[in-house]
Amino acid sequence: MNAYKTIETDDYPGLARMFFENGLEVEPDAPQPEGLIGCWEVLDSSGSRVAGIELEMRAGEYVIGGITVLKPYRKSGIGELMLQTVVDKVRKLGGPRVMLVAKVPAFFEKAGFYRIAREDSPEISKCFTCDQFQISCSPEIMERKL
């Protein structure tokens, strides 16, 4: 168990920049997503952001649009902690499942997410219309039923 806490933030642009800088397909200067539900962050002891996660509604589904933990802070349970915060939020909202497009499926599997076929998924990602999908890039569509 670690001492980190997940707290809500309204700094979507700051999180989007962090996602972009850590290799996620998020435009750093794009406007806030229309379906944004919330953003959460984890701070270190000096108050600097070391991790963030974002939840939005896409195609009628609760979708995690980004999750990042800064490199020096990885593998200490922060990612799992943030996922739990978002899963709890969706549960409170009455959602039947949480979905995402995973670059690191093994991490999400540990948190109870399962891979689903592209044809079984609503259009939750721009990856579906990208010509590199499953050619040079193979993200997995995943869900966790609640």
Q: 80 or 130, CB closer to ligand COA?
A: 80
Taking the complex as a whole, the smallest distance from the CB of residue 93 to ligand COA amounts, in Å, to 21
- The residues, ordered by sequence, that sit 6+ positions from 121 with a Cβ below 8 Å of its Cβ are 99, 141, 143
Q: Mask 103-142, x = binds ligand COA (CB under 6 A)? A: xx-xx--x--------------------------------
Cα separation, 128 vs 121, whole angstroms = 10
> Which segment (25-33, 64-72, 89-97, 120-128) binds ligand COA by CB under 6 A?
64-72
Cα separation, 97 vs 82, whole angstroms = 16
Cα separation, 38 vs 85, whole angstroms = 11
Residue 26 binding ligand COA, by CB under 6 A? no
Count CA atoms within 13 Å of residue 85 on its CB side: 24
Taking the complex as a whole, the smallest distance from the CB of residue 64 to ligand COA amounts, in Å, to 8
Residue 24 binding ligand COA, by CB under 6 A? yes
